[in-house]
Amino acid sequence: MAATRSSCVVACGWKAAPDGSVDAEDLARVTRWPELRARLVDRLRADSSEFARAASVLLGLTGTDDTPVATGDSAIPCAGVECETNRRAAARVAEGRDTLARMAATTGDPRVYALAFNTCGRTQPAEGACQLLNPEQWARLDPDNAAPWLFVLAQAGQRRDAAAQNEALFRLSTSARSDQYFFAVPGLVIEHLPTDEAATPAVLTLAAEAIGLAAAQSVSSYQTLLEQCKPSALRDANRRQTCGAAAELLVERSDTLLDFGIGVALGQRVGWSEDRIDRLRGEQSAYVESLGSSSALGPADGCSGIRRDLATLGRHARLGEVGALREWVAQSGRSPANFIRAEREARVRMAAAASAASAASAAR
């Protein structure tokens, strides 16, 4: 429902209701949303960077009127205009995906390859030009990165190829970093859009759209990694050492909190101390809480919330989520003991709440 003038507050040049809700049409008009979006795609398309041009292809797949009725390539049962809209959208997505795959097939930029590989990964088995891509080639372009080896490991697991799984796990554990490039496109969005206050809601919305695209892409399969490092496998000293190295990598040198969380779980399996596990989990919980609860279209505290979210996205693009967490912990002034205590107190509260809920359910 459109907010009325009497109930609105002004935030970054557009009007928001006191509860933070906005009129989408008013937002588009005041922030020049369609114009800024088209300008961004054009700027990226004309950029000298191959990765920027690849990002323009990805962003060009959204923001038009022919949005798919269903996600992915398979349309839900439909009729008439709905079906035609879905067919046009599916064809546009397939064409863009093929364009990215063809770019990746000849690129020397691992970010371009990762972008295309992950976009193609949403359709299995691979179709069209996506058949040209594989995680081994990504690993060759990105030799210090563990991320492609997660995919190699998963595919070897599907084939039940034990030798290939062992090799992939070793290569993963000895990598210098784990970089999913999750914030690479959002970072480009922030770099290429205007910094004037009236445009900031549109900048944040576009950055959030880029994150949504990344989240919808193929996600590394951690299940095979967890299976390779299950308790029974860790009875072997060499496997325990390899899984411990993988845990250190994901906790200390990854770019996403998802990697970080998997690393903590592996660390617990290989015998990290209770203090270390609780400190790491306490740091993650406190950092996530510090980020607040604002969103692209309805920031919790108006313009200041938008600026804060853009600054957070900028840090994540520059440092990765784990790097930003480390920076926040260092600047917080809190001791390791503080994070450990907070984590243990939170666990006690959760256990008490679960017990109370169980008792209430039994009493009904």
Q: What percent of the chain has pLDDT over 70?
A: 78
138 assigned to some structural domain: no
d(CA 197, CA 9): 15
What contacts 107, CB < 8 A, 6 or more positions away? 50, 113, 141
279 assigned to some structural domain: yes
| pLDDT at position 28 | 65
| pLDDT at position 251 | 98
d(CA 201, CA 11): 9
- One-letter amino acid identity for 29? R
C-alpha angle with apex 164: 158 to 167, nearest 5 degrees?
135
Domain region containing 326: 273-293+306-364
- The residue with tokens 């009497």 is 6
**Three-state DSSP class for 11?**
strand
pLDDT above 90: residue 199: no
d(CA 178, CA 148): 9
* Least trusted range by pLDDT, from 108-122, 123-137, 221-235: 123-137
d(CA 117, CA 147): 12
d(CA 51, CA 92): 20
**Three-state DSSP class for 217?**
coil
- The residue with tokens 């549109």 is 202
The per-residue DSSP string of 253-291 comes to SBSSHHHHHHHHHHHHHHT--HHHHHHHHHHHHHHHHHT
CA distances from 214 to 50, 77, 101 (A): 18, 27, 16
72 assigned to some structural domain: no
Buried b (16+ CB within 10 A) or exposed e, 77-115: eeeeeeeebbeebbebbbebbbbbbbbbeebebbbbbbb
135 assigned to some structural domain: no
pLDDT above 90: residue 116: yes
- Cα dihedral 320/323/324/325 (nearest 10): 120
pLDDT above 90: residue 4: no
285 assigned to some structural domain: yes
Cis peptide before 336 (omega within 30 of 0): no
Q: How high does pLDDT run on average in the chain?
A: 83
Q: What percent of the chain has pLDDT over 90?
A: 53
What contacts 138, CB < 8 A, 6 or more positions away? 110, 113, 114, 117, 147, 148, 151
94 assigned to some structural domain: no
Residue 87's closest CA among 100, 62, 69, 64? 69
Helix residue spans in 32-182 (DSSP H): 33-46, 50-59, 81-105, 110-120, 135-141, 147-159, 162-173
334 assigned to some structural domain: yes
Mean pLDDT of 195-201: 71
d(CA 65, CA 234): 53
d(CA 57, CA 207): 15
Mean pLDDT of 251-275: 97
Residues 312, 251 contacting (CB under 8 angstroms):
no
* Least trusted range by pLDDT, from 14-23, 92-101, 341-350: 14-23
In the DSSP assignment, the letter for residue 56 is H
| pLDDT at position 296 | 45
With bands split at pLDDT 50, 70 and 90, how would you rate the model's confidence at 174?
A: very high
CA distances from 344 to 233, 283, 289, 292, 294 (A): 29, 12, 16, 22, 27
331 assigned to some structural domain: yes
pLDDT above 80: residue 292: no
Q: Please count the structural domains in the chain.
A: 1
* Least trusted range by pLDDT, from 15-24, 199-208, 239-248, 258-267: 15-24
**In the structure encoding, which two tokens stand for residue 283, read together?**
């740091």
In the DSSP assignment, the letter for residue 15 is E
**Three-state DSSP class for 16?**
strand
